[in-house]
Amino acid sequence: MLPIPTDLSFLISAAAFLALLLFCLGIIQYSRQRIRRQEIVEKIKSGGEIVTTPSKESSQRPSESAFFKKLLLGFFGGMGNFASPAKSADRLNDRLKFLKAGIRRENAMAVFWGMKIFLAVVFPAIFVILRFSLIKLMSYQAATAIGVLTALLGFYAPDIWLRYKADKRKEKLLEALPDALDLLVVCVEAGMGLDGAINRVAQEISFKYQVLSDELTLMNFELRAGKPRQDALRNLAVRTGLEEMNSLVTLLIQTDKFGTSIAQALRVYSDAYRTQRFQRAEEMAAKIPVKLIFPLVLFILPALFVAIVGPAAIRIYQNIFTRL
């Protein structure tokens, strides 16, 4: 048998590792979806409350997972206490980023900076190990540059994750806002006060839109704690980070200040927002032909060209060489 080249064996090992990793991730995702489906079924059967039967294994698993999670967060938090920003303005900006991403832990900033330091050290260390064990044909300059890039990637990876989490949360809030607004209009027109209507909307949408329900529930807690309604509404707009929510909060504050009809103002805003959503959908539909140009030119047209011109090219080639 011929010896397998070193580069080919490395590619085979990398492909096998990637296949095994994808297989494990698929099993984990399948198990999570199955557990989530069972929770939803139990919640529907129990009328909104998840009923679980405690057992010995189920009572031990959460404690063990909570212990390891607490230990890991404590490790990152202890590491990040020395690197977290000391200025109040920087801490306020970071706290606002965490709130927009749905993270409300007290030591979130320390854990965040601890993860940045840890990944900035671990990524270059992994590259150094690979450099001296597998990738030996590399110059010193290239290895140094890649090591610096991996350190930068590890340092800014938590920022990218935090921004991604905040964007996904904004998408969920934006998806839940139309239904919540319609329910709010119905509750206010039925004679409920604004605070009671917001509380009822938070309860009604908790099954499908948990993120917006949590924000509205937090706003109700602030109102019950004695905070003025205007401040609670402004905090809601700041936590969500949505322009649509900011406009709604401004409308509610002005309506409350001038004493006009809240139901009529919400009805007008709901109609305007529905028109805005329709225009946004039309804009996205109008962009589709432009976005299809690149995959059409790069992938579809070459295949059509081969399928149409290929038989004729083969026939011409055969005729020319048979005559020669």
- Of residues 2 and 99, more confidently modeled: 99
Integer Cα distance of 221 and 225 in angstroms: 6
179 and 286 together in one domain: yes
pLDDT band at 148 (very low <50, low <70, confident <90, very high): confident
Query: In the numeric block, which tokens belong to residue 200?
Result: 């009822």
- Would residue 79 count as lying in a domain? no
219 and 180 together in one domain: yes
Taking Cα atoms as reference points, which of 235, 274, 221, 230 lies closest to residue 255?
230
- Would residue 149 count as lying in a domain? no
189 and 270 together in one domain: yes
Buried b / exposed e over 277-286, threshold 16 CB at 10 Å, is eeeeeeeeee
Average pLDDT, the chain: 79
pLDDT band at 3 (very low <50, low <70, confident <90, very high): very low
- Would residue 215 count as lying in a domain? yes
- Would residue 89 count as lying in a domain? no
pTM for the structure as a whole: 0.65
- In contact, 72 and 115? CB cutoff 8 Å: no
- Would residue 104 count as lying in a domain? no
Taking the CB of residue 239, how many other CB atoms lie within 10 A of it? 20
- Would residue 299 count as lying in a domain? yes
Integer Cα distance of 147 and 152 in angstroms: 9
Where do runs of H (alpha helix) occur along the chain? 6-45, 56-80, 88-100, 108-133, 140-189, 194-204, 210-224, 229-240, 243-258, 262-291, 293-295, 301-323
pLDDT band at 322 (very low <50, low <70, confident <90, very high): confident
Taking the CB of residue 188, how many other CB atoms lie within 10 A of it? 22
- In contact, 113 and 86? CB cutoff 8 Å: no
User: What's residue 57's pLDDT?
Assistant: 43
Q: What is the pLDDT of residues 188-247, one digit of tens each?
A: 888 888 888 888 998 888 888 888 888 899 898 988 888 888 888 898 888 888 888 888
181 and 261 together in one domain: yes
305 and 244 together in one domain: no
260 and 304 together in one domain: no
Q: What is the pLDDT of residues 161-172, one digit of tens each?
A: 989 998 899 888
307 and 281 together in one domain: no
Taking the CB of residue 292, how many other CB atoms lie within 10 A of it? 11
User: What's residue 86's pLDDT?
Assistant: 62
Average pLDDT over residues 278-304: 87
| Secondary structure letter of residue 160 according to DSSP | H
Enumerate long-range contacts of 210-214, CB under 8 Å, 24 or more apart.
211/102, 211/169, 211/172, 211/173, 211/176, 212/172, 212/173, 212/176, 212/177, 212/180, 214/102
- Would residue 122 count as lying in a domain? no
User: What's residue 274's pLDDT?
Assistant: 83
- In contact, 95 and 113? CB cutoff 8 Å: no
pLDDT band at 58 (very low <50, low <70, confident <90, very high): very low
Q: What is the pLDDT of residues 151-162, one digit of tens each?
A: 888 889 888 998
314 and 233 together in one domain: no
Give the helix/strand (H/E) hosting 16: helix 6-45
260 and 314 together in one domain: no
Average pLDDT over residues 69-97: 68
**Residue 19 domain boundaries:** 1-37
**Is pLDDT at 41 greater than 50 in this prediction?**
yes
Torsion angle defined by CA atoms of residues 263, 269, 271 and 275, in that order, rounded to the nearest 10 degrees: -170
- Would residue 154 count as lying in a domain? no
230 and 282 together in one domain: yes
180 and 284 together in one domain: yes
Could you tell me the sign of the dihedral formed by the alpha carbons of 47, 53, 54, 56, in that order? negative
199 and 304 together in one domain: no
Type of residue found at 292: L
Type of residue found at 261: S
- Identify the top-confidence range among 76-80, 228-232, 311-315: 228-232
Domain count, the chain: 3
pLDDT band at 22 (very low <50, low <70, confident <90, very high): confident
- Identify the top-confidence range among 56-60, 79-83, 241-245: 241-245
